[in-house]
Amino acid sequence: MTRKGLMLTAAVMLAGTAAMADTADKKIALSNNYAGNSWRQAMLESWQRVTEKAVADGVVASADAFTTAENQATEQAAQIQNMILQGYDAIVINAASPTALNGAVKEACDAGITVVSFDGIVTEPCAWRVAVDFKAMGKGEIEYLATRLPEGGNLLEIRGLAGVSVDDEIHAGIGEGLAAHPNFKVVGSVNGDWAQDVAQKAVAGILPSLPEIVGVVTQGGDGYGAAQAFAAVGRPMPIIVMGNRQDELKWWAEQRDAAQYETMSTSIAPGVSTLAFWVAQQILDGQEVPKDLTVPFLSVTQDTLDQALKDTPEGGVTSVDYTLDDAKKVIGG
């Protein structure tokens, strides 16, 4: 090869490397549908911590976060359409619905924008999904109760936000667990919206009509509210599965110390938003990323309760901020 040919080849290789490796001029946006509980607040705080550093380090140009005023798919779809017009290179979405945003997501993809959904995922094929196996989480709650209560009994189910994929998946997993352990029966169900105050009011409203309850299966953010409702009417305290919120862990520790109360706690880490951010950055960086990625949920046991409570800020949620290396490990399987 001539010297001119060598130089041309080297220039092409260098240009390709720069295009594949430099996301410093890329803009990423977070589209969030709801911020009305401690998990969502912790998720947004985690996003801010990690993305502010990424911007300061020159990894991306910006990583703005936007939350709709109401948990409405139509409003979030309009938000995404505005992001398209504003020229973002990637949109990370916590979706109000797995299907209702697909039109707006497809518009973004057609405009050349990378779309990564997490927690509340979307089904549009052009988007990426970063999800916990919520069905396994729900099934695991029943399996835990089966180890504690081999005779079974009546359960109360507290669901999350109606219509959101997370709620549907956890509920389906609880159903699978019940099929495997038919000695348990759900005798009441309410929506707690993943918020302790909503859950407390909903449980208080249904308790007078319920027989003895041995366990409460939950979705996170609702365990402490359920405990308060049972305590307020002096009913025997069931085994309430917790969701890694600080108020839940604190109550659990107090009850453990006072009366040997025992349970478990499980939830998706709010910091999953930062994992989705790094996945979007890697896609913009030209990396091959599978469309569906699964991350483990965080669980707290009787043995790890004290450490989890120590590490969880007051009013917050047990979490972890994900790093670029974490994202690469998840991407690599």
- Residue 13 pLDDT exceeds 50: no
Q: What pLDDT sits at residue 146?
A: 98
* C-alpha to C-alpha distance for 241 and 226, rounded to whole angstroms: 10
* C-alpha to C-alpha distance for 264 and 242, rounded to whole angstroms: 6
Contact 237, 262 (CB under 8 A): no
Tally the C-alpha atoms within 13 A of residue 88's C-alpha that lie toward its C-beta: 28
- Residue 21 pLDDT exceeds 60: no
User: 4: pLDDT confidence band, cut at 50, 70 and 90?
Assistant: very low
* C-alpha to C-alpha distance for 286 and 303, rounded to whole angstroms: 43
Q: What pLDDT sits at residue 324?
A: 97
> What is the CATH superfamily name and number for domain 134-267?
Response regulator (3.40.50.2300)
Do 18-132+269-297+322-332 and 134-267 come out as alike in CATH topology?
yes
* C-alpha to C-alpha distance for 153 and 157, rounded to whole angstroms: 13
- Give the DSSP letter of residue 143: H
Chain-centroid distance of CA 53 in Å reads 22
User: 101: pLDDT confidence band, cut at 50, 70 and 90?
Assistant: very high
Domain 18-132+269-297+322-332 is found in CATH 3.30.70.2190? no
More confident residue, 99 or 163: 99
Name the residue with tokens 């990423």: 28
Parse the chain into domains and list their residue ranges: 18-132+269-297+322-332, 134-267
Each residue's pLDDT tens digit, 176-187:
999 999 999 999
User: 70: pLDDT confidence band, cut at 50, 70 and 90?
Assistant: confident
Residue 24 burial by Cβ neighbours in a 10 Å radius (0-12, 13-18, 19+):
exposed
Q: What pLDDT sits at residue 141?
A: 98
Sequence-distant (6+) residues with CB within 8 A of 292 are 128, 129, 131
Range 191-213 average pLDDT: 97
Q: What pLDDT sits at residue 30?
A: 98
Q: What pLDDT sits at residue 20?
A: 40
More confident residue, 20 or 123: 123
Q: What is the mean pLDDT of the chain?
A: 92
3-state secondary structure of 234: coil
Each residue's pLDDT tens digit, 227-284:
999 999 999 999 999 999 999 999 999 999 999 999 999 999 999 999 999 999 999 9
Provide the pairing of β-strand 184-191 with 153-159: parallel
